[in-house]
Each structure stands twice: as C-alpha cells, then as structure tokens.
Structure 1
Amino acid sequence: MMLRDLAAVADLPPAQAHAYISSFRRLDLIEQDGATGRYQLGPLALQLGLARISSFGPLRAARDAVVELESELGLMVALVVWGLSAPTAVQVRIGNYPLNVNLRPGMALPVLGSAAGRVFAALGRPDGIDEIIAAEFAEAAGGKAPSKSTRKAFESELEGIREKGYAITTSEPVPDVDTIAAPILGPDGEVLAIVMVVGNSQNLDLKPDGLPTRLLLAKTEALSGEKR
C-alpha cells in the first residue's frame, strides 16, 4: 500500500503514519518497494508468522510431515496456509529434482491458478475468497466477468475436489509442472493448512493410487482433526 492509504486505514495523519512506518522499517517489520514506493510486510513479519506456526500444534506436526514427504518422495513439498487474503507458502522443501518454480516461504499463491487455492475454494471458504475469485476471473478475462460455461466448469471442479478430498493442477501456472494438494482439517472441519507435492510432469505420478497421492493423503488425514 501507499503511505497515504496506510494513513487513511489507520486513521492517522500522514506525518504520524510515516513516523510509525520508519520505526517498523528499522525493525524489518515493513519494507518499501523501490520501484513502486509501496509498503509491504518485511522479513521480520515473516519470521514472526513462521514462529507462530511452529508453536501451533497441528501445524508444527505438519512441518515435520513436509520434511518426511520430501525425504520419501524426493519431490518438492510445501506447506500453505491462508495468509493475508491469499494462500501463502510458509515452508518449502525443494526435493531432489530441480524445478523452474519460484516458490518460497512468504509467497502468495493465486486461488484459481494453484492447487492449494482450489482446495481453499472448495473446502475452506475463508473470508473474502469469493471477491478474490471474482477478481482473478476478471483479470483472466481482461476485466470482464467469466462466461457461464467457465464458471460452471470451475464449480464442477470444486465439487470434484470435495468428493476426492484433494486437488490436482497440471502445467498450471508453470508449464510441465504438476501439483497435488490436500488439506489438514481442524476438529470442526476447517482447513488449517494445505500440503502440496510439486513435480515435473514426468516425475510426479498423479494417479489416485500412485505413491505421491497415497503418501500425501496418509499424512494429511493423520494430521486432520487433531486438537490444538
């Protein structure tokens, strides 16, 4: 956001907001994009978020499961939570096969264009996700609303995810890179996090009875429903 927008949201005079921002920048809680002048959360904010995740029982166990999956499959594995209005990677293990994928902790993922995003859309429904979906559809359609057939196909895919319990993307958003994503559910059925297995189309078996899917679902189902 720009300084004036931050000041307006915080209900502060711009000069006072700037003083706060200057202090937060010294602490690395906030950083400024040199090209746009906009402010965003800084590296310390990410570290605080990861520290919180590490202290949260089910997600602490999920971090261990991500490491185990990487070791067992040799593939990239990531842990994703719902962050600031977007699916956000909080842990990424690169695996044994180099991928041309810019996925790192702190990165926000699209809802429509990622397997994790589609799991949130199908099973999680966090606040604001409908507006995000509408905005992503409009961006893909050049500012226009999606056609009825496009929207119907998306809703059909979400229903399939609900039935299977996991999502798959192929060559999306990166060509020749596929993803399997499954949720870790809380005691009330809420989506606490999502584990993604990412691989080259030649290395990642997407079949329901394939090893990646079986191991992924075994771990996410074992972690689901645990008490906080």
Structure 2
Amino acid sequence: MAFGARSFRYALRRLALSSRQPAAVLFDMDGTLVDSEKVWDIALYELATHAGGTLSESARLAMIGSAMATTMRILRDDLGQPDRDEAADVAWLEHRVEELFADGLIWRPGALELLLAVRAAGLPTALVTSTGRRLVEVALNTLGRENFDVIVCGDEVSAPKPDPAPYRRAADLLGVKIAECVAIEDSLTGMTSALASGAAVLAIPAELELPPTTGVHLRDTLVGVDPAFLGTLFTEIPA
C-alpha cells in the first residue's frame, strides 16, 4: 500500500501538532502588528535635521527594533555629535512620534485578523515592545487595549531587546512557561530576544531581510496564520 505504517504515523503526528495551541502568544508591536517604522522614519529624520545634520540610511536601519538608548547612541555617532543632550532628544522625538501615532496606525497584512483569531480562541496575549509606555498608550488606541492581557514596554524592563528579559517577563506576568509560548517578531533584534527567551519564534520581515536562523520560523506575511498554525511551530516533524 502506498499509505504505509510510517505515513500513517506521520499523519497522526501532523494531526496532533495541528490541534495543539500555544499557552500564550507574544506580539511585538512596531513592524509586526502595525506599520509604524515608517512613522519612526519621519520623526528620526526630522530630529537629525533639528540637530543640524542628516541621518544616514545605514544608521536608521541599525536602529530598527532597538531600545531608545541604543537609538540615541546611534544617532549621536552618526551625526558626529557625541555630547548631545540625550534627554532633550528623547523628549523631542517622543513628542513628534506621539503626534504621528495619534493620527492612527496602519495594520500589517494579516496582523489584525491573527490577533482577533487568537483572542477568539481564548489564548492569553502580550504586547512586548521596545517602545516606551508613553507612546504605547497612544498606539493602543489603534491596537485596542482589550486585545492584550499584559503589556511589556521598553522602558519597563531590566534589559531591553535583544536581551530575553522582555519576553520572559511577559510569560511570567501571564503565568505561563515561556517554552510554551509563540513570540511574533519582525526584526533581528526582536528575533534574537525572543529566541534567547526560549519561546517558539515566528518572524515576519518588515523593513529588513532576516537571515534563516535555527529555531526561527520565517514567513513573508501573517496572512493565513491562525492559532492552529501557531501550534505547529513547537516541534519540527522529520520526513
């Protein structure tokens, strides 16, 4: 028979995995749920102009997914202004981004549908972002506060991404094991954080290409992703 014992066992394993669901789904924000990196583009280039310089493309790309302190260090280095007042620059930048966020944010393809499907399935959710609380509160007007059981912001953790602390904190707050969670990311910094935390990682590149990485599942888009698909990410099935 073409459909032998091995094929039958394989089919059973596929069925078991497809019916499994994660203990929680941990979502990055910028570039993953919403197309907000373009908003940061505007504000960061304007800040560089305000400082009397021009932000290089390579410096801007290096900022993607990073914490505010790292972004400000890259800005100072790129402008050749090591003595700039970081606090003043952060205040200027956050005020400008807040204005832009208030106009509403654009969902990434498939992101809203996945978030609603995860909520409908009764799975706990967390928003795990490098963005500070002040701006996250504005973004939640688009994202919906009711869509997240916990929120971990970049200015509320002991160490920001790429450290695993943000994702581990999210799992602790939810009362679940991080190894039973799926983290969804778009940047190398976030992907590194999620992978180091022990979560299963789904990466959807936004502004930058992501390298194939052991333990990370790459897709072009969240379109078509649902809770059943997320359940298949925990175990690789041999042929």
**Same fold at TM > 0.5:** no
- Using CA pairs under 8 Å that are at least 6 residues apart, name the structure with larger relative contact order, 1 or 2: 2
Q: Name the structure where strand makes up a greater proportion of residues.
A: 1
- What is the TM-score when the length of structure 1 is the normalising length? 0.30
Q: Name the structure where helix makes up a greater proportion of residues.
A: 2
- What is the TM-score when the length of structure 2 is the normalising length? 0.29
